[in-house]
Amino acid sequence: MAKRTASKTASSKTAPSKTKASKAVSSKASSSKISSAAVDIPSFEPLPRAGEVIAHEGVSLLELADPADLSAIMVHKKIAPHVLARLSETEALVLPDSRDALLKALKQAGYTPKVL
Amino acid sequence: MPKSFFERLVQELGEEKADEMRGLLSNLGMLDSAHSLADAGLADASSATGQPDGTQDLTIESYFQLMNVDQLRLIAKRLNPALNVSDRNSVERDIRKSLNSPKRLKAMVAQLSSLELFILQTSKRYGGSCNGWELIIQAALRDFSGDKNSKVTSVSSKVFKENLVDHPGVNLIAKLLRDGLLLPESNQAAWFSHYYYYNADIAHPDEIYVDPRILAHIPAAAPAPYRRLNLKAADVDGATLSGSAQHPVQTVLELNEVVNLVIDAGGLPLTKSGLVTKTALKRLRKARPWLEPRLELHVDSLFALGLMQPESAQHYKVNLSAYTTFQALSLATRFRAVLHTNRSEDNEYPWRSGLDQLHSVGLARRVLTESLLLLPEHPVYLDDVLDTLWEGIWQIGRAIRRGYGYVRIPKEKESCPVWFKQTLTDELASFGLVAITQVSAPAAQQSQDSSKKQGDSLGNANKLVLQLAKGMAWYQAGSDETYLDVSKDVDVTEDVDVAKGIDRDVGDTLAPSAAHQTALLIQPNFEVIAYLDQLTADAVQTLSYMEIKRVDQQIAVFELSRASIYRALENGNSLADILQRLEANSPGLAANVRTSLQEWAKKRERLSLYSDYCLLEFASAAARDQAMGKLNNARAVAARFIAVPKRPKNLSISSDHNYKTAPKRVIRFDKDGSFHLLGASDLAARAVISAYALPKSDTKPKNDTKPKDDTKHGAKTRKAARHFVFNMKKIQQEGFSDTAHRSFLARVKGHIPDAQAALIDIWQGKQKQPSSASVAIFQHAQAQALASHPDIAKHLDAALNPTSYIIKQGAEEALRTVLNNLGLSLKTSLDSNLKADQVTTHNRMVGLPTRKMREMLEKAISEGRNVELKYKEEKYIYDRYGGSKKGAGKTKTQTLIPTDVFYNASTPYLEVQTLEGTPVKSIRIGYIAELAVI
């Protein structure tokens, strides 16, 4: 249902500030255990030792303006499989090699990601 | 003096962009390859082709070793007509002397024929080196027939120790090659007979150079003007000619549309042979059905123009930087670029169209297109054009040789290959270069005489008339050539712009003015109407991200959508740019359209994907904040991370992980189901571990006393000693996602113990929970035989083994009654020593393991008992490649005498003979389905 609404919204000419799709998924997200108020962020154990700096090269990050949008993405059937972990309320780590697939899934879901 | 293509390119783009575009278009024949060659370095070019020269300038002296003494004498004679020596050393000395003598060089230049001078001047305009075919085409397009000195003939003597082929194109430069005034890049070039057919598909080293000392004495001059052919005007009324040729700007718009399609599709997959897959093309066709007739042509153009770049061996995506540069070119230049792309032409029967008679499709297409500049303004009969141009110019495109290694020498006059007519009437007409009209019989009747004279098959029926269309003006505007119309008897020194004679000056489109503000009309319903005649390069760039809905002869209708604005923003345009361009090219923008554009742009800001970044991880937020100041373009991520576009050099990195390579397998499972880390783990592994595992508190780290030092900077990996167990509750509650599962499995060294794998499956919900229940067992040595009794069987469930069955739930008493009625009683204890091999029955046992059957058969052999078998014969199964393998054949049921059990490799076989004593045969024990020991 959400998917059908999303595609309809994507093709519409006048886009409201918040689409029906994101509203629908957001409401689903807020009702689930992952909410913007208390997001479950992995601690990435074991942590580096004091003074250590670990470089992770070639990673892709997702950043959203609204924590609720990220919560929606984290439970989205097509998008979530490409997200490795949530780093903060508004940032998530993309699965290695999933960048293009994630981009495609985001566009199909009606998002217009800014690729940097 | 007209500017060269490159000069205009520099003017249009500026030096930096022109350099980039020069690289892109170097394979089009549009650019003087001298510039691209200069970029690459002459030394590289010459060494790649095995030339003796290693210096920056190719000189005649550097070719001495590649010439025989006869050619050296001819060169010396050309440079110094008074030469009177014959031995090689003296000749070489004299050539050197002549080349360093301005007086002799000046005299030599004065003796050049007009053709030779034109060719050398053309080469000079190209900087002293260019593709030889370019010189040939330029020379052939000018009428030198009146100049007796320029009459060209084939050269019989050896040139660079090879024979030159007798070909209309090669003959134009033959003397200059022989006399050393033109220096070939290689003597493997197409114009030498030492050229193998198997090299036909590779790029020809057809570059031609001029010795810089000679070049210095060639007077710079504007190219000689073209002369229009004096063809008879078709006797038709202008009103009857249809103006159905498409507008040339449509080609540019279509190319933009194809680029957008490819960007949206995420690139194009290629086959192993380097062609775009049919599925990808089909998808593009489906997206824009109206583009179908020329879709493949535009896709080919994208590759030929260098607008596609490889992402992997078999996947290409749009090179946005190159595309932006390409868009900065004028419309006419882009139009010409598409026309000049060396597109492949798949033809199953090349002899039908005459493709096999051409040297290369690219050359023939170039010659054909350029030759249209010679046509008069008035309509002409197509047959006249074909006859005249084939004889005069198109023969340059003729095949140099046919067949393996053989020089092709035509013995009789050849007719024009059908390919030229097809390409002219189909492809070039579709580009809007020419308009082809079929005139009706009455009009054609008047030209009956001329038709009969030419033996035209159409005779006095309908005739095709050709007229230059708007596209030719664009083609001319994109070139640096001018020509004269001999029919108007004008001064031959005056340059005439063909564009003026055909249509409005295309040059206007290169310089947008206030008058072009009406090029676009943006309607409140988001439709954008573009007036094709008014379109400027700026307007086309404004339209480039929009989707074309419809194109007519006068207008094109585009649609402004969220996707189109998103595409424009992703291509590096700002919202302000987009709005400014829309307003500059249209009378105005409706308020609702402006608001929507702003909303769409704003929506894009809500979600950002930082691609290919370097994420720096610190032990604490304080350490992260401290490092922030040292880094440029850094942004804090979460509590302990910093994201930077590139790995910083001014920060000491303890260890690193590259996510573009295969992950390291750093997780190993222990026998007890727990797992530990073998070294530094990446974020993916740690994300899974921290989300779904717990430290195993009751296990003391194995290498706690002696930690491994497996990091670059000596950080002790105490983490390697950490043991973990899966957090069953977490996995159950949140689900162990497939993504996390795959990510975890990719980092496991060895294998996950079966028990753990099964547990994860059950925790994930992929498998059901295990069951447990109290059951009653029916046991007897001949349980199978008893179970075949119908009264007993209805109370029994599944067989546990040949001696034991599960009694159906609650049927124990009923079974007891049945057995009592049969005179049997049920004991209440089980005999744990009861074995299946104690069973001897005619009822065949089913589903026994191979090992069990082998044991039973060996026992039967030792006891001298017979066996009743239901088995499948073994037979050879042959595949279509002639190989074979053993497989199962017909099913048989027999009573046999087992004689031996043996192994073929590790497969056990039973050797048997029939009760009648017939010959021995072997049965594969694994193929025995049912077995009874009698």
- Give A28→chain B minimum CA distance, Å: 15
Record: contact B619-A43, CB cut-off 8 A:
no
- Give B670→chain A minimum CA distance, Å: 19
Record: contact B617-A54, CB cut-off 8 A:
yes
Q: Which of B54-58, B812-816, B861-865, B879-883 has the lowest mean pLDDT?
A: B54-58
In the predicted structure, residue B512 carries a pLDDT above the cut 50: no
- Give B293→chain A minimum CA distance, Å: 27
pLDDT at B716 (0 to 100): 43
Q: Answer yes or no: are the C-beta atoms of B369 and B282 closer than 8 Å.
A: no
In the predicted structure, residue A35 carries a pLDDT above the cut 50: no
Q: Which of A27-41, B206-220, B377-391 has the lowest mean pLDDT?
A: A27-41
In the predicted structure, residue B747 carries a pLDDT above the cut 80: yes
- Selecting from A48, A64, A94 the residue whose C-beta is nearest the C-beta of B607 gives A64
> Which position has the higher pLDDT, B672 or A45?
B672
Percent of chain B with pLDDT over 90: 3
Identify the bridge partners of residue B472 per DSSP, sorted by sequence position: none
- Give B67→chain A minimum CA distance, Å: 56
* Span between the terminal Cα atoms of chain A, in Å: 31
Mean pLDDT along residues B565-584: 84
User: Which residues in chain A are contacts of B684 at CB distance < 8 A?
Assistant: 84, 95-96
Mean pLDDT along residues B505-528: 61
| Burial readout A1-40 (b: 16 or more C-beta within 10 A, e: otherwise) | ebbebbeebbeeeebeeebebbbbbbeebeeeebebeebe
Q: Which of B201-205, B612-616, B698-702 has the lowest mean pLDDT?
A: B698-702
- Selecting from A54, A63, A81 the residue whose C-beta is nearest the C-beta of B656 gives A54
Q: How confident is the model at residue B245 (pLDDT cuts 50, 70, 90)?
A: low
pLDDT at B295 (0 to 100): 84
Chain A residue at shortest CA distance from B653:
A53
User: Which residues in chain A are contacts of B263 at CB distance < 8 A?
Assistant: none
- Strand A114-115 and strand B607-618: the pairing is parallel
Q: Which of B389-403, B746-760, B822-836, B857-871 has the lowest mean pLDDT?
A: B389-403
B180 φψ region: left (φ > 0), alpha (ψ -120 to 50), beta (else): left
pLDDT at B519 (0 to 100): 82
pLDDT at B56 (0 to 100): 52
User: Which residues in chain B are contacts of A26 at CB distance < 8 A?
Assistant: none
Cα–Cα distance, B511 to B503 (Å, whole number): 17
Look up residue B299 and give its amino acid. V
Record: contact B609-A94, CB cut-off 8 A:
yes
Record: contact A85-B641, CB cut-off 8 A:
no
Chain A residue at shortest CA distance from B568:
A114
pLDDT at B908 (0 to 100): 92
Edge-to-edge strands of the sheet including B463-468? Answer: B380-381, B463-468, B434-439
Cα–Cα distance, B837 to B931 (Å, whole number): 12
pLDDT at B854 (0 to 100): 92
Chain A residue at shortest CA distance from B657:
A56
Q: Which of A17-26, A53-62, B210-219, B473-482 has the lowest mean pLDDT?
A: A17-26
Chain A residue at shortest CA distance from B565:
A112
pLDDT at B909 (0 to 100): 93
B919: Cβ contacts below 8 Å, ≥ 6 apart: B913
Q: How confident is the model at residue B39 (pLDDT cuts 50, 70, 90)?
A: very low
Gyration radius of chain B's alpha carbons = 42
pLDDT at B901 (0 to 100): 92
Cα–Cα distance, B775 to B786 (Å, whole number): 19
Chain A residue at shortest CA distance from B719:
A46
A99: Cβ contacts below 8 Å, ≥ 6 apart: A60, B609, B611, B612
- Give A56→chain B minimum CA distance, Å: 5
In the predicted structure, residue B333 carries a pLDDT above the cut 50: yes
Tokens of B134: 């370019």
Task: Give the long-range contacts of residues B694-697, CB within 8 A, separation 24 or more.
Answer: B694/B724, B694/B725, B694/B726, B694/B727, B695/A45, B695/B722, B695/B723, B695/B724, B696/B723, B696/B724, B696/B725
In the predicted structure, residue B515 carries a pLDDT above the cut 50: no
Mean pLDDT along residues A84-101: 82
Question: Three-state SS for B656?
Answer: strand
User: Which residues in chain B are contacts of A94 at CB distance < 8 A?
Assistant: 609
- Give A59→chain B minimum CA distance, Å: 5
User: Which residues in chain A are contacts of B620 at CB distance < 8 A?
Assistant: 50
> Which position has the higher pLDDT, B650 or B837?
B650
In the predicted structure, residue B925 carries a pLDDT above the cut 90: yes
Cα–Cα distance, B2 to B25 (Å, whole number): 20
Mean pLDDT along residues B440-444: 53
Q: Answer yes or no: are the C-beta atoms of B711 and B654 closer than 8 Å.
A: yes
User: Which residues in chain B are contacts of A95 at CB distance < 8 A?
Assistant: 684, 739, 743
pLDDT at B251 (0 to 100): 86
Question: Three-state SS for B772?
Answer: coil
**Rounded to 5 degrees, what are φ and ψ at B484?**
-110, 150
> Which position has the higher pLDDT, B75 or B477?
B75
pLDDT at B669 (0 to 100): 85
pLDDT at B681 (0 to 100): 78
Question: Three-state SS for B660?
Answer: coil
3-state secondary structure labels for all residues of B471-493: HHHHHHHCCCCCEECHHHCCCCC
Q: How confident is the model at residue B902 (pLDDT cuts 50, 70, 90)?
A: very high
Asked, as a colleague might, if the bond just before B790 is cis with ω within 30 of 0, I would say no
Mean pLDDT along residues A64-73: 85
- Strand B207-209 and strand B183-184: the pairing is antiparallel
pLDDT at B726 (0 to 100): 77
Kindly report the pTM of this predicted structure: 0.61
DSSP E strands in B137-177: the ranges are none
| Per-residue pLDDT reduced to its tens digit, B345-387 | 666 666 666 666 677 777 788 888 888 888 887 888 888 888 7
Edge-to-edge strands of the sheet including B527-531? Answer: B520-522, B527-531, B555-559, B547-551
**Residue to test with chain B: of A11, A26, A54, A106, most B Cβ within 10 A:** A54
- Give A5→chain B minimum CA distance, Å: 16
Cα–Cα distance, B117 to B574 (Å, whole number): 52
Report for B125-134, B412-421, B490-499: range of highest mean pLDDT? B125-134
Question: Three-state SS for B896?
Answer: strand
- Give B307→chain A minimum CA distance, Å: 20
User: Which residues in chain A are contacts of B691 at CB distance < 8 A?
Assistant: 40, 42, 85
- Selecting from B627, B638, B660 the residue whose C-beta is nearest the C-beta of A91 gives B638
pLDDT at A36 (0 to 100): 36
Mean pLDDT along residues B788-805: 85
> Which position has the higher pLDDT, B736 or B449?
B736
| Per-residue pLDDT reduced to its tens digit, B651-696 | 788 888 888 888 888 888 888 878 888 877 788 888 778 777 777 7
How many A/B residue pairs have CB atoms within 8 Å? Answer: 216
Q: How confident is the model at residue B29 (pLDDT cuts 50, 70, 90)?
A: very low
Mean pLDDT along residues B287-315: 82
**Rounded to 5 degrees, what are φ and ψ at B147?**
-95, 105
Gyration radius of chain A's alpha carbons = 15
Percent of chain B with pLDDT over 70: 76
This model of the complex carries an ipTM of 0.72
pLDDT at B388 (0 to 100): 80
Exposed/middle/buried for B484, CB within 10 Å: 0-12, 13-18, 19+? buried
* Integer angstrom CA distances of residue B490 from B68, B114, B127, B199, B481: 48, 21, 31, 47, 17
pLDDT at B45 (0 to 100): 32
| Per-residue pLDDT reduced to its tens digit, B912-922 | 888 777 766 88
**Residue to test with chain A: of B637, B659, B664, most A Cβ within 10 A:** B659
